Amino acid sequence: MLKMLSVLHTPELLHTLASMGHGDEIALVDANFPALSNAKRMVRLDGADLAAALQACLQLFPLDTFVPDPAFRMQQVHAPDEIPEVQKVCQKIIDRAEGRQVPMKGISREAFYERARQAFAVLVTSEQRPYGCILLKKGVVFPS
């Protein structure tokens, strides 16, 4: 155990997040997402829901400020404009972590799958709620 880190900051997650560079994307997905067949690298956070996994990631890196859309959410197939509760919770976590509003851009299920295949890593959670799938683009950590 280490001070100031979440129990979700596993060695594998820490290595993955530290290895990512500016502009790299990570997909955080629910338990139904076919991660093994759609991931270059897969990190499992069994037992964690999407909100907890998202919070653990955003404690360690900022979102990209050089692009208009650094966060994406998978749209529902039959109701693309309707935002599921799990994504509303994630939106609050993102805004709080960034200290500003950073609206997640909705993308189709097919587009999400394609982005996940290209992502640096796919982080698999135990999220049970449908459409618990988001993508984040890592930003620059500036010196203090």
What domains sit in the chain, N to C, each tagged with a CATH number? 25-137 (3.40.1650.10)
Could you say which of 9, 30, 49, 64 is catalytic? Answer: 64
Verify whether residue 9 is a known catalytic residue.
no
Provide the pLDDT for residue 72. 98
Residue with tokens 């759609």: 38
25-29 vs 121-124, strand pairing mode: parallel
pLDDT digits (tens, 9 = 90+) for 58-76: 999 999 999 999 999 999 9
24 annotated active-site: no
- Round to whole Å and give the CA distance between 96 and 99: 5
Dihedral in degrees, nearest 10, Cα atoms 82, 87, 89, 94: -120
Cα separations in angstroms, 122 against 15, 19, 144: 13, 14, 30
Among candidate residues 9, 30, 49, 113, the one labeled active-site is: 113
Is 64 designated active site? yes
Show the low-confidence residues of the chain (pLDDT under 70). Answer: 1
Question: Tell me, what's the pLDDT at 3?
Answer: 86
